[in-house]
Amino acid sequence: MLQHAHEGPLRIFKSLYPEGDAVCHNVIVHPPGGVVGGDRLDVSVSLQAGSHALVSTPGATRFYDGDGRTGRQQVTLDLQAGARLEWLPLETIAYPGCLAENHIRFQLAEGAQLLGWDVVALGLPAAGSPFTHGRFTQRIEWPGVWLEQGRLDGTDQRLLDSHVGLGGRRAMASLWFACGTALGTRQQEDLIEAVRQAFPTQAQDGRLSLAATWSHPRLLVVRGLADTVEPLMNGLQSVWAAIRRQAWDLSAPPPRIWRV
């Protein structure tokens, strides 16, 4: 049974069942269109045992210049035994001058699985508005298993432009497949091979870079870098479809909201 509640403008816009009753696709919208200094968005998703949901957004999350104040987004995901969640929002755009914090925290019970991603674009280079100032802080946490956090500062040219940093690219992503119960060795090998086979070729997508690893027996992580969001998102969608097929024996019809 689907239940949702909201305070303020952030809300579930639509729940769809394009794959039948077994998987509920949910669309989260924020009508104001962005986050400015002093704003805080809190999203909490809880899945009951054995349920399966896909959550996405119809557009990018935008962190605007906050006039010296911090804008925050906090996402909390809680999966009970055997639940499956696909957390697949469209990209986050950090506008020049923003002071932004983006935090994701999740918990998985035994047998639960979470397929999620987080995509960040720094500035708007196509519009002549590069990320030359401002700060974007990111934190992704699975308590006791995985913690990553970092701060991207628009004035830190060594991080943004060096070969040991972003190498001049301004779109980045993390995709993860987290398992409440570890897969067997053969399952892990087959899954990461399917993921790598799904990577687009370099000739098709220019400076797109993708890499995958099992960073923990219960956690497969894919990292991506690109000049712009579009090739990066295309690559992630291919990986998402490969994981769905290999891990869950499901087809991967793209959520309708991605094609609007």
Mean pLDDT across the stretch 223-236?
93
Residue 225 inside a domain? The answer is yes
Q: Using one digit for the tens of pLDDT, what is the confidence trace for 67-99?
A: 889 999 999 999 999 999 999 999 999 999 999
| DSSP at 256 | G
Asked if pLDDT for residue 217 goes beyond 60, the answer is yes
Tell the residue number behind the tokens 């979470």, with chain if given.
114
Residue 143 inside a domain? The answer is yes
Q: How confident is the model at residue 240 (pLDDT cuts 50, 70, 90)?
A: very high
- Are 249 and 243 contacting, i.e. CB atoms less than 8 angstroms apart? no
Query: What pLDDT does residue 255 have?
Result: 84
Report the range out of 26-30, 140-144, 158-162, 163-167 with the highest average pLDDT: 140-144
Residue 116 inside a domain? The answer is yes
Asked if pLDDT for residue 30 goes beyond 50, the answer is yes
Listed in sequence order, the residues at least 6 apart from 144 whose beta carbon sits closer than 8 Å to its beta carbon are none
Query: What pLDDT does residue 45 have?
Result: 96
Mean pLDDT across the stretch 7-21?
81
Measure the CA–CA gap between 145 and 219, rounded to whole angstroms: 8
Tally the domains of the chain.
Answer: 1
Query: What pLDDT does residue 203 have?
Result: 46
- Are 121 and 134 contacting, i.e. CB atoms less than 8 angstroms apart? no
Query: First vs last Cα of the chain: how many Å apart?
Result: 27
Tokens in use for 40? 């805080």
Residue 210 inside a domain? The answer is yes
Domain carrying residue 183: 11-259
Residue 137 inside a domain? The answer is yes
Residue 5 inside a domain? The answer is no
Percent of the chain topping pLDDT 70 = 94
Measure the CA–CA gap between 111 and 113, rounded to whole angstroms: 7
Residue 46 inside a domain? The answer is yes
